[in-house]
Amino acid sequence: MVRSCAGREPPRLSSCPWFEPASPEESTTPIVKPRVATAVALALVLLISTPIGALAFPRQPVTEWVRDLYTAQAARIARAQPLEESDVLVLFTTELAAFWQEARKAREFGATSDDVLDAFFGWNVTAGTKVSFTRVIKVLGTSEAPTLLIDVVVAGVPRRVVLDALQDGGSWRIANITYDEGEDFSSFERRLAHP
């Protein structure tokens, strides 16, 4: 049922909660009250705003994010493409990205390591190595800072990686990655950055 105040005689400002006359002389031409437009605008702002909008549109679950990330990184390695700085800045926390950048500069100036470490799959993974993602399980942590076990295969050999994720501004970031052979990504990059 649609309610309207149009056609009432004589319309007064307080007689109709939805419409009011444009002017006292034009009592038959209704206009929408400003408070209706204000309510609609406020609803849109609340829906789009970051904290409330994030609840209305939940972020991708961390396990799905890791699955997509590792699938994309396996494809990158298969295409023999290096890990780009823009990817590091988006995927890693600010602190971890800074270590990576410092270590990269140190490598450019002659400091090298005998070990080859791929950030995602671990030791001795060079461009073109056959790697694949098997599964991911959330094992520890909170909803904002989970720890995940990731099973991967490198050149036919199964490996396990432990990834510490961090929810940052509505998206996920990598705080650290520990490999089944020992050292973690943060320690490795820190050692190269500050020999």
- Domain coordinates in residue numbering, the chain: 1-58, 62-193
The string of pLDDT tens digits covering residues 35-68 is: 655 655 544 444 444 443 333 344 789 999 999 9
What's the rounded Cα separation, in Å, for the pair 32 and 95?
53
pTM attached to this predicted model: 0.64
pLDDT of residue 97: 86
Q: How confident is the model at residue 29 (pLDDT cuts 50, 70, 90)?
A: low
pLDDT at residue 148 above 70?
A: yes
Contacts of 89 (CB under 8 A, 6+ apart): 97
pLDDT of residue 37: 58
Residue among 136, 133, 137 at smallest CA distance from 75: 133
Q: How confident is the model at residue 17 (pLDDT cuts 50, 70, 90)?
A: low
Q: What is the CATH number assigned to the segment(s) 62-193?
A: 3.10.450.50
Mean pLDDT, the chain, as a whole number? 75
